[in-house]
Amino acid sequence: MKLNTILECDFSNKKALVRVDFNVPIKDGVVTDDTRIKAALPTLTYLLDKGAAVIVMSHFGRPKGKKNPEFSMAPIAKRFSELLAKEVLLAPDVIGPEVEMQVSKLKAGDVLLLENVRFYAEEEKNDPEFAKSLASFGDVYVNDAFGTAHRAHASTEGVAHYLPSYAGFLIEKEVKFMAPLLDSPEKPFVAIIGGSKVSSKISVLESLVRTCDTIVIGGGMAYTFLSVQGYSIGKSLVEEEYKDVAASFLAKAKEKGVSVILPVDHLCGAQFKEDTEAVAIDTTDIPADLIGMDIGKNTIALIVDALKSAKSVVWNGPMGVFEFDAFAEGTLTVAKALSESDAITVVGGGDSVAAINKFNLADKISHVSTGGGASLEFLEGKVLPGIKALEK
């Protein structure tokens, strides 16, 4: 997969229309986590240094296609301006005469942030006329919003039909680390897939089984796989309708010679509550009155051992209910093992990223993806419309 990148374009005296992902948490009118804004700064700074005027587009929240002050970009514009260390103008709207006037007055080095693109239903419908209106603001289009690249919206895919289009540094980095995992990963390749449900991860498993040497299955989804093998899972989560799918996957992995690591012991609780007592179960079978909440010490040892020889590792989904401190050990130990590995390590998916951040290990991972849904779909081998629009 080869993308057109911003290094290939002359931005001097051009207006660059840039899609970013500034969908950040806000409380009482203040941005509480500016990670996504910071992630876009290298691209935006580069464009400004190269003499461009920059028009920035993003969505925020779910205003459902209607103008709603609650979802205004105003608090984001303030934090964006502070991080960029220069004035960021906030447009009063997304399209229309007032915005056109503002854009016409922009000079090299100026930054204009449009209002929330999802104030218009045409955005999510990828309406051609709306995309044309957005495209009319720029001479070139830059997409650096990997988190929305799996959506064919007007600002992520539509505008690319009307302007020369390039990938920003963030999207370029995401593709650089993620694409080889699907095509030609360095071996041995270990995938650690967790989370609560088989239904949300089976496509990833079936994609990765083509290139993996070892697949670790943890989290709530593991109990469906254990159940189909005849183990007792107590009151643990099970998706009855996915038992056949789980059995089919295990058969496929065996046929391909892929090692599958499932929990061999557990940390359980009587209730799914933060204050429930943690009970260590040293067998694969779980007593009838308990819920599996985390992987046990023997399972952790199996995973750590598999990681020692790995050259490539992808992790998507926690090993247990890591939000509850008593059941965070499995996820924490996997995160630490990844941080100490010499392999190329890629972490994707909201909960896995949250775990890495919770344990302050992000700087020790080769790549922490900024896109939860997008990284999941990428690993499933799906075509991401926002990425395809940037291909050579």
197 as an active site residue: the answer is yes
Cα pseudo-dihedral 218, 354, 344, 166, rounded to 10: 130
User: Which residue among the candidates 51, 61, 373, 381 is catalytic per the annotation?
Assistant: 373
User: Which residue among the candidates 50, 125, 132, 197 is catalytic per the annotation?
Assistant: 197
Tokens of 77: 């514009």
Which domain covers residue 267, as residue numbers? 184-379
105 and 13, same structural domain? yes
Q: Which amino acid is at 293?
A: M
pLDDT at 33: 87
pLDDT at 355: 83
pLDDT at 351: 79
pLDDT at 353: 82
84 and 56, same structural domain? yes
194 and 144, same structural domain? no
Where is the domain boundary, 117, 142, 172? 172
What letter does residue 156 receive in the DSSP assignment?
A: T
pLDDT at 350: 65
321 and 265, same structural domain? yes
Alpha-helix residue ranges (DSSP H) falling in the chain: 35-49, 74-84, 97-104, 121-124, 128-135, 169-183, 198-208, 222-228, 243-256, 297-308, 329-339, 350-358, 372-379, 385-388
Where is the domain boundary, 120, 149, 172? 172
Report the alpha-carbon distance of residue 371 to residue 377 in Å, rounded: 10
Report the alpha-carbon distance of residue 350 to residue 129 in Å, rounded: 33
Report the alpha-carbon distance of residue 122 to residue 118 in Å, rounded: 8
Which residues in the chain show pLDDT less than 70? 350
Report helix, strand or coil for 209.
coil
User: Which residue among the candidates 350, 358, 364, 388 is catalytic per the annotation?
Assistant: 350
88 and 191, same structural domain? no
**Nearest Cα residue to 127 out of 153, 99, 164:** 153
368 and 261, same structural domain? yes
For residue 100, the tally of other CB atoms under 10 A from its CB is: 14
Residue for token digits 């992630």?
Answer: 39
173 as an active site residue: the answer is no
User: Which residue among the candidates 14, 15, 19, 36 is catalytic per the annotation?
Assistant: 36
Q: What is the CATH number of the domain that holds 271?
A: 3.40.50.1260
Report the alpha-carbon distance of residue 18 to residue 118 in Å, rounded: 16
